[in-house]
Amino acid sequence: MSVVAAETAEVVLSSGWFLENAFIIPIIPAVAFALIIFFGKRMPMKGSEFGIASMVGALVMSVGAGYQWIQRVNGAPEEAYIEPIIRTWTWWQNGGIPLGIGQHIDGLSIVILIVVAFISTLVQIYSTEYLHGDRRYTHFFASLTLFSAGMLNMVVAENMIQLILGWELMGLCSFMLIGHWWEDGANSRAALKAFFTTRTGDIGLLVGTSVLYFAANDWTQKTLGVSGFSIRGLSAWALSGEPSSTAITVGAVALFIAAIGKSGQFPLHTWLPDAMAGPTPVSSLLHSSTMVVAGVFLVARIFPVFYEGMNIYGSNVNFIIVIGAITIVIAAALAFVQTDIKKVLAYSTVSQLGYMMMGLGAGAWLPAVFHIFTHAFFKACLFLAAGSISHSASHHSFDMKKDMGGLRKFMPITFGTWIVSTLALAGVFPFSGFFSKDEIIDNVGYAGYTIFMWVGLLGAFMTAAYMTRATYLTFFGAPRGAAAGEHHDEHDAHGHDAHDDHDAHATHDAHAAHDAHGHDAHASHGPRESGPLITIPLIILATLAMGSGLLNAVPFGSEWENFKKWIEPRGQVVSVTGIDHSAGSHGESRVIQPEARVTAGYESDCGKKTPTDGVCYAPQLKHAKFKWSKAALSLAIVAAGIIISWFVSVQLYTRRNKVLVGLTQRNKLLGAGYAFLVNKYYLDVLYEKIIVRSIAYPISRGAYWINQNILDGIVNGAGTGSKTIAGWVYRNIDQRVVDGAVNKSGDAAQGAGSIVRPVQSGKVNQYGALLFGAAAIGALVLVIINT
Amino acid sequence: MEVLSDNNWVLTVGTFLPLVGVLIMLFIPKADEALAKAVAIITAAATLAVGIFTLVKFDYDKADQMQFVAEAEWISVIKSSYFIGLDGISLPLYFLSMVITLLVMIYSWNHVPSPGNAKAFFALMLILQTGMAGTFIARDLVLFFVFFELVLLPMYFMIGVWGGENRQYASLKFFLYTMFGSALMLVAFLALFFQTGAESFSIPYLIEEGINIPKNTQIWIFAGMFIGFAVKVPMFPFHTWLPDAHTQAPTQGSVILAAILLKLGTYGFVRIAIPILPEAAKEWAPWIGLLAVIGIIYGALGCLAQTDMKRLIAFSSVAHMGYVMLGISTLTEFGMNAAMFGMVAHGLITGMLFFIAGSVKERYHTLEIKRLSGLLVQVPKLGWILGFSAMASLGLPGLAGFWGEFPAILSAYQPAEGLPVGVFRTYMVIAAIGTVFAAAYLLWLYQRTAFGEPTAEFSSGHGHDHGHGHGDDDAHSDIHDVNKFEWIAWTPLLIAIVVFGVYPQLMFKVLDPAVGVTLKAFGG
């Protein structure tokens, strides 16, 4: 088992059981999913025990693998390329060539594994309380667990097909979880929209994978002995100087389109805010911290393909950075006009994903990945805090204007964790977001993309401002609506998050569903703090939101840059002579690189020049030097955002300042802008009312009309026509000329047919005889012509 | 020809055993339905047992070769012989036909459609089984043709007698349309026979000799076969018999039609048209590909326009067979493998969808999408199975449908040498867009039928409020969740969809070598 360790010239890289068997991590929740489906309802905790246990198991294994990976890195010479641990088994084959499934474990996969397993565990624990008594409690845990299996599988994926498997499984679970309360039409529409929109992006995934496979396969088979689906193969191929610029650009653009769909980038971001129709734990796990970073992960995973395909570092602008920058700003702008607290967070997520993409587009690989890491904690925390509010204080409403306000007094823990996470999100020193987001902005500027650096700073200002607005509306000012203990009709509440306690008799009774919405035991208590199963995950996440930035605290000096040391693939030329394609047992094959040659010095040519005696698996990345002067600027911008927004919020929402209130009604230009934002740039109108509607109705009906009237018309016409001809032939030729024999056989056939069906079968035989006759004549003609 | 195995009786027995069952059934009085059913099911089970034996005895290391070959003199006047054999391409379809027949029969135990007469119904299914199995093992064109046509009659009666309201039109259309195709196919077979010196109808012989036929003649002969097989597949624009046949056919008929009968056409392309006439295949391939991608989009649009659940599933077959044909038209190993996998996957998944449609119809007496809602509330298990099948049908990775769809799309990027690359790459993008359409019509169907609350008409709670116009509580008493026979019939399909989805190598291992042999003429 320990042979896999690749050697450098001097040192054997350490490995370990957890690293070698990391492929088991996704299998654990997959098995748990099956257990929940088949036995969940009979278990004392209705199946949630399987889910939680599997997530804890996955977390333990991920952390174990992480520990061993750190050992591996620490034991290696500085700047040496750290060989990932790759194992494959035959999954399918073509032309006798096996195509695999397996694992590709390196720093990137390990960090995402830990994040996913960790947040999944917390969210599942939180859900036991949040969805307590829900009628589909077991199904909920099944979907949540399957989601984790899909995501973890995508993260460990050895090749693109395996990655697609995980990618689509997440899409499926997202569909099931957004539509969890499918009795309500709005929820099922949101579920459909999410699946459908991401699926549209997935056209790119299918096309991109195909393009890259055929472009790379010959080279990868020859050089590395792996297929053109292999992540390692694609990475090395991209940097080999081999690919034609068309193929790799088309492949990279196509794959990035998939990332746009999955990671809610402009212009396919519209599904993400609607996805908030799902239960809050789902929003927290899938639609903020894990699943939606799948697109970012894809770009980071086969970064060399994008690096070469998009010419990162080599040009002033590229597709990724533009999409990322647009997304940052348009999503942040939308966050200002939301009244639903979850939608503010949703747009914030979209905006932050834009930061990650912009970072990757600028070659700031490490800050972008680090931002995935820190963002997961503070965004999950914010969502769970929002859930805590709706669960215990606002009577399942998420409307900040109607049902919240002044909650800081009632929910101190929720308030505290919210504030910590908000500061992290805004990028205030020394919270985690500062260390990741500021690095992205800094590195974008350092790589020469100055305009985009300013976009990043603008985004930081907006982030600080909309979060301050949301915080003010929720926790400050006077309590309103449900927060003030009022009752109002649930059905009018915008974006309510309803669930019921009528599990036992509601399961098969549709009508209980409406009545039961939200009328649960704690409805009339007024705002209060949530229970420990909710607050403990909040506290844990808030702690990480505060501290996780220290893992890569660039400002404190290079000895703090642990994340960089452990995670960033080092762009070194690796010798490929003497690759060992050893065949393991049970159809397993391994490609072992015996020697990872270390070039002297920090600078290598990977990504700049074609490697001559070896391959590169990663480009040499640039890193900005941290300067407090630059950080001071962005911190000042953030502070300005907070202060201005606070002042405006107080004036607008509490003091009812006459200049501000109703401004959008009085000023036409502002009103138009406001309407533009409220209507989400009319993108939904374009997609749903124009594109989808036209395909679903006029176009499909037109096609069907053609089908029924033209294509089928021809068929029916031919039928009627031949019937007429047959009748004529029968009357004029058959009766008069041939007469006897045919008639008799027809009668016989009719007699036989009449046993089952007297009317039609005679005709069939006549037609049949006619057709065969025609066929025989045709055959004869054909033979004569061609001889 | 070298005899590869001593067990060469298994194919003959496996194919004709159902007819023995029919003979026995002739002596059972019509009134004794239970006995007739039992005999039929036992026969089907015995046939499947032979099938399993075949599966066990099959030499998987030689999946590229014909096994269990048997050859005997048959109609020596026209130099046709009883020549049968089985390789990696035939095996999955041959076995699938046996499984489907048995499952359909089990399902039929308490689902004999009106007007009853279980004896005749079961007997027809057994005859059908012989025709289907025979088609997949025939190594002689005349034998192939006989089996191919043998399938027609039982299906005609199944639709025409046990079908829906418009059954006469549908069954006649089905029969005549297929017959029309068969006639042209027969012309092509005869032309092939004469062109190769009127020596033999044996497929291996024709593969040897077919290459010598002048290209122009090849193209004409291929045209005849093309129409014959394309009608059966069915490819756009020869598909219009399919929605009618499916909509009118009883559930059992629809399942068999979707699961096996459609594959006779695609199988014909893979087994006969392409290997015998490689030059013509190259000329035709771009056009087949074009019709395939039109079928993908057009079938999907057809689905979106439907108001009837069963008709929607029928149209989805047009789209799915489009992927299969796209794979075939690339003339590459990737494409063929995908097509073969796609055939089996489509058989399992669409067969399953038709089963569900039948069960919904039985419970609600309607398949109108508008009137159905909240299946998940009233019949949750059926609703979940519908969701599962819909997901499989739209090509979710991890389920069988994906492995027919994605490699087919992939293969279009690089078709066989000599085919227009740019054209096929366009097809690839269109086919990829088709996956979105598939998601659209299936999920939209699911959203409308399974989600939400049951319509007032069918919800027991409101029955007395709105129920004056229809059968009141009596109507609702039919609404029950999946029953025992349904579970027995469906579980194997559901398991197979997951197993082949998770571990596709099970099938690719068998298909891949045989596909390589089929494509020998293309240097694959």
pTM of the model: 0.87
pLDDT at A521: 42
pLDDT at B1: 43
Check pLDDT > 70 for residue A488. no
pLDDT at A534: 86
Check pLDDT > 60 for residue B11. yes
Please report whether residue A744 resides in a domain.
yes
Average confidence (pLDDT) over A668-678:
81
Note whether B186 contacts A775, CB cutoff 8 Å: yes
Question: What is the per-residue pLDDT across B417-473, written as a single tens digit (0 to 9) for each?
Answer: 888 999 999 999 999 999 999 988 998 899 888 888 887 777 765 444 444 444 444
From A241's Cα to the closest Cα of chain B, the distance in A is 22
Please report whether residue A747 resides in a domain.
yes
Those of residues 452-471 in B touching chain A at CB distance below 8 A are 452-454, 459, 461-462
Neighbours of A586 (CB within 10 A): 6
Average confidence (pLDDT) over A484-512:
43
Beta bridge partners of B140: B202
Residue A590 backbone phi and psi in degrees, to 5:
-130, 140
Beta bridge partners of B71: B83
Those of residues 178-217 in B touching chain A at CB distance below 8 A are 179-180, 183-184, 186-187, 190-191, 194-195, 214, 217
Note whether B459 contacts A511, CB cutoff 8 Å: yes
| Sign of torsion over alpha carbons B419, B421, B423, B429 | positive
Q: Clarify whether residues A748 and A783 are in a common domain.
A: yes
Considering only the beta carbons, identify the residue of A90, A704, A786 that sits closest to B302. Answer: A704
Note whether A779 contacts B186, CB cutoff 8 Å: yes
Considering only the beta carbons, identify the residue of A185, A210, A511 that sits closest to B413. Answer: A210
Q: Is A326 helix (H, G, I), strand (E, B) or coil?
A: helix
From A697's Cα to the closest Cα of chain B, the distance in A is 7
Average confidence (pLDDT) over A500-519:
36
- List, in sequence order, the alpha helices (H) in A136-184: 137-156, 160-178
B132 close to B259: Cβ distance less than 8 angstroms = no
Question: What is the per-residue pLDDT across B382-427, written as a single tens digit (0 to 9) for each?
Answer: 999 999 999 999 989 989 999 999 999 999 999 988 889 999 999 9
Please report whether residue A763 resides in a domain.
yes
Higher pLDDT: B126 or A764? It is B126
Considering only the beta carbons, identify the residue of B429, B454, B505 that sits closest to A92. Answer: B505
Tally of domains in chain A = 2
pLDDT at A761: 45
Q: How confident is the model at residue A447 (pLDDT cuts 50, 70, 90)?
A: confident
Higher pLDDT: A614 or A348? It is A348
Check pLDDT > 60 for residue B68. yes
Q: Is A255 helix (H, G, I), strand (E, B) or coil?
A: helix
Note whether B298 contacts A703, CB cutoff 8 Å: yes
> Of A127, A6, A119, A17, nearest to A67 (Cα)?
A17
Check pLDDT > 50 for residue A243. yes
Please report whether residue A287 resides in a domain.
no
Check pLDDT > 80 for residue A11. no
Q: Which of A723, A757, A774 marks a domain boundary?
A: A723
Question: What is the per-residue pLDDT across A162-198, written as a single tens digit (0 to 9) for each?
Answer: 999 999 999 999 998 888 888 888 888 888 888 888 9
Question: What is the per-residue pLDDT across B278-321, written as a single tens digit (0 to 9) for each?
Answer: 989 999 999 999 999 999 999 998 898 888 899 999 999 999 99
Separation of alpha carbons B473 and B463, rounded Å = 7
Domain of A766 in residue numbering reads as 739-787
Note whether A510 contacts B175, CB cutoff 8 Å: no
Please report whether residue A265 resides in a domain.
no
Check pLDDT > 70 for residue A675. yes
Q: Which of A723, A758, A774 marks a domain boundary?
A: A723
Please report whether residue A764 resides in a domain.
yes
From A474's Cα to the closest Cα of chain B, the distance in A is 32
Note whether A183 contacts B173, CB cutoff 8 Å: no
Please report whether residue A710 resides in a domain.
yes
Distances (CA, A) of B140 to A598, B72, B301: 64, 11, 39
Tokens of A309: 């395909």
Those of residues 209-268 in A touching chain B at CB distance below 8 A are 209-211, 213-214
Q: What is the DSSP letter of B163?
A: S
Separation of alpha carbons A719 and B224, rounded Å = 20
Q: How confident is the model at residue A625 (pLDDT cuts 50, 70, 90)?
A: confident
- Which contacts qualify for A753-762: CB closer than 8 Å, 24 or more apart? A756/B120, A756/B157, A756/B160, A756/B161, A757/B157, A757/B160, A757/B161, A759/B168, A760/B160, A760/B168, A760/B171, A760/B172
Higher pLDDT: A756 or A261? It is A261
Note whether A778 contacts B524, CB cutoff 8 Å: no
What percent of chain A has pLDDT above 70?
83
A38 in contact with B, Cβ within 8 Å: no
Separation of alpha carbons A503 and A81, rounded Å = 55
Which among B78, B296, B396, B410 is the top mutation candidate for probing chain A, defined by the most A β-carbons within 10 Å of its own β-carbon?
B410
A35 close to A116: Cβ distance less than 8 angstroms = no
pLDDT at A497: 43
Note whether B217 contacts A185, CB cutoff 8 Å: no
pLDDT at B429: 92
Q: Clarify whether residues A743 and A787 are in a common domain.
A: yes
Those of residues 255-284 in B touching chain A at CB distance below 8 A are none
B166 in contact with A, Cβ within 8 Å: no
Which among B443, B445, B520 is the top mutation candidate for probing chain A, defined by the most A β-carbons within 10 Å of its own β-carbon?
B443
Distances (CA, A) of B246 to A764, B133, B351: 19, 21, 11
Check pLDDT > 70 for residue A755. no
From B97's Cα to the closest Cα of chain A, the distance in A is 24
Sheet-wide strand order for A97-105: A97-105, A85-94, A588-592, A580-583
Please report whether residue A321 resides in a domain.
no
As a whole number, the mean pLDDT across chain A is 80
From A534's Cα to the closest Cα of chain B, the distance in A is 30
A786 in contact with B, Cβ within 8 Å: yes
What percent of chain B has pLDDT above 90?
51
pLDDT at A737: 63
Check pLDDT > 80 for residue A664. no
Average confidence (pLDDT) over B88-98:
93
From A109's Cα to the closest Cα of chain B, the distance in A is 21
Note whether A183 contacts B172, CB cutoff 8 Å: no
Q: How confident is the model at residue A666 (pLDDT cuts 50, 70, 90)?
A: confident
Q: Which residue in chain A has the smallest CA separation from B193?
A: A783
Average confidence (pLDDT) over B67-75:
86
Check pLDDT > 80 for residue A774. no
A749 close to A770: Cβ distance less than 8 angstroms = no
What secondary structure does DSSP assign to B206-225, as a single string?
HHHHHTTS-HHHHHHHHHHH
Higher pLDDT: A603 or A478? It is A478
